[in-house]
């Protein structure tokens, strides 16, 4: 039986918006309950401790400060239980909502490549982007920390913003491993506190002009300055162009918190000032180093 949605008004607890040509989210499996992982095929048999993970999976997970603080044997054991998943753009990783009895155990995702967005939906279906998660970030750790709460809160969902590669780890095993290591527990607390501050910055940024907010998002999406774009070249004053992921203006509008038309005008302004390179109206490269809030 299909579980009843927690939001009776729209059912958006079960699904992201129907895809449109501009690149809105995809619809997950309707058999899944709220608050569960939305990628199929994960089971603990796939993640037996004896199955060694590829070295690049371990390297990718090792970029996360929480997992990197684990003792080497504990990290290897957890990484070897990780199952690699290739995720299409717009695919739902985590469904929004509060956990409930009968839900499957939570899954912890480590992002190995690409970007995910953490989202909530209003009862009218409006999507709000709360955060971005890129290479080295975890997705779903909030559900682990709050598991077993007497009144579990409604958790945000997570959707692939670009094509992604993630490592799926059994949540309870990951949480137990982290709890057993003081340095890892402290790193988890720092990361959760940092996300609160990030959310405050994001809220404060809504008062800034849209071009400033947009350039900050684009610089963050460069992933830390991965190199000069092959089809770009040097920019003004010797600055280098850095490639940004291919995003539709619909996605940029959600990230910035503005209409698509406003984002279109902001991109034109940034292109005219030489800060962004456009191809058929979409940003393909940005000048300067990446940063969280674009103030530097």
DSSP state, 198?
Answer: H
pLDDT, position 241: 86
Residue 230 reports pLDDT greater than 60: no
CATH 2.60.120.10 domain extents, the chain: 44-203
The backbone torsions φ and ψ at residue 188, rounded to the nearest 5 degrees and listed phi first, read -65, -45
Q: How far is Cα 35 from Cα 52, in angstroms, rounded to an integer?
A: 29
- Cross-strand bridge partners of residue 148: none
pLDDT band at 38; cut points 50, 70, 90: low
**Secondary structure class of 5 (helix, strand, coil):** coil
Compare 121 and 19 and report the one with higher pLDDT. 121
Which residues lie below 8 Å from residue 240, measured CB to CB, with a gap of 6+? 228, 232, 234, 287
pLDDT, position 270: 93
pLDDT band at 295; cut points 50, 70, 90: very low
Distance of CA 82 to the CA centre of its chain: 18
Q: How do beta strands 241-243 and 138-139 pair?
A: unpaired
Element (H, E) at 14: none
Mean pLDDT of 210-239: 61
Q: For 59-71, write each residue's pLDDT tens digit.
A: 888 889 999 999 9
pLDDT, position 106: 83
pLDDT band at 51; cut points 50, 70, 90: low
Compare 25 and 283 and report the one with higher pLDDT. 283
Mean pLDDT of 98-117: 81
Q: How far is Cα 252 from Cα 245, in angstroms, rounded to an integer?
A: 11
pLDDT, position 293: 39
CATH node for 44-203: 2.60.120.10
CATH 1.10.10.10 domain extents, the chain: 208-287
Q: For 78-89, write each residue's pLDDT tens digit.
A: 988 888 899 999
Compare 28 and 229 and report the one with higher pLDDT. 28
Residue 5 reports pLDDT greater than 80: no
pTM of the model: 0.71
Q: What percent of the chain has pLDDT over 70?
A: 70
Mean pLDDT of the chain: 74
pLDDT, position 103: 66
Residue 186 reports pLDDT greater than 70: yes
Q: For 25-34, write each residue's pLDDT tens digit.
A: 443 433 333 3
Which residue from 26, 48, 47, 49 is spatially nearest to 38, judged by alpha carbons? 26
pLDDT band at 178; cut points 50, 70, 90: very high
**Secondary structure class of 244 (helix, strand, coil):** coil
Q: Which fold has domain 208-287?
A: Arc Repressor Mutant, subunit A (1.10.10)
pLDDT, position 57: 80
Residue by residue, what is the 3-state secondary structure of 82-114?
CEEEEECCCCEEECCECCCCCCCCCEEEEEEEC
Residue 282 reports pLDDT greater than 50: yes
Q: What percent of the chain has pLDDT over 90?
A: 28
pLDDT band at 9; cut points 50, 70, 90: very low
CA-CA distances (angstroms) from residue 190 to 2, 89, 172, 185, 225?
A: 38, 29, 20, 9, 24
Of how many residues is the chain composed?
Answer: 296
């Amino acid at each position: 039986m299909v579980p009843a949605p927690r939001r009776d008004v729209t059912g958006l607890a079960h699904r992201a918006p129907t895809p449109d040509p501009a690149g809105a989210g995809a619809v997950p499996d309707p058999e899944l309950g709220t608050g569960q992982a939305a990628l199929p095929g994960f089971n603990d048999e796939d993640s037996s401790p004896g199955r060694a993970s590829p070295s690049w999976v371990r390297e990718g997970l090792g970029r996360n400060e929480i997992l990197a603080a684990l003792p080497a044997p504990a990290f290897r054991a957890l990484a070897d239980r990780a199952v690699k998943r290739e995720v299409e753009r717009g695919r739902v990783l985590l469904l929004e909502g509060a956990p409930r009895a009968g839900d499957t155990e939570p899954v912890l995702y480590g992002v190995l490549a690409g970007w995910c967005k953490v989202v909530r939906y209003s009862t009218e279906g409006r999507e709000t982007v709360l955060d971005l998660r890129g290479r080295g970030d975890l997705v779903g750790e909030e559900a682990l920390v709050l598991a077993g709460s007497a009144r579990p809160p409604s958790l945000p969902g997570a959707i692939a913003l670009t094509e992604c590669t993630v490592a799926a780890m059994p949540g309870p095993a990951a949480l137990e491993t982290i709890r057993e290591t003081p340095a890892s527990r402290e790193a988890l607390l720092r990361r959760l506190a940092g996300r609160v501050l990030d959310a405050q910055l994001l809220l404060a940024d809504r008062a800034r002009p849209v071009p400033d907010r947009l350039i900050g998002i684009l610089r963050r999406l460069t992933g830390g300055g991965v190199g000069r774009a092959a089809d770009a070249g040097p920019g003004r004053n010797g600055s280098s162009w850095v490639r940004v992921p291919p995003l539709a203006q619909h996605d940029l509008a959600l990230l910035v918190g503005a209409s698509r038309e406003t984002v279109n005008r902001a991109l034109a302004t940034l292109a005219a000032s030489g800060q962004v390179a456009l191809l058929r109206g979409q940003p393909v490269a940005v000048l300067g180093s990446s940063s969280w809030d674009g103030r530097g």
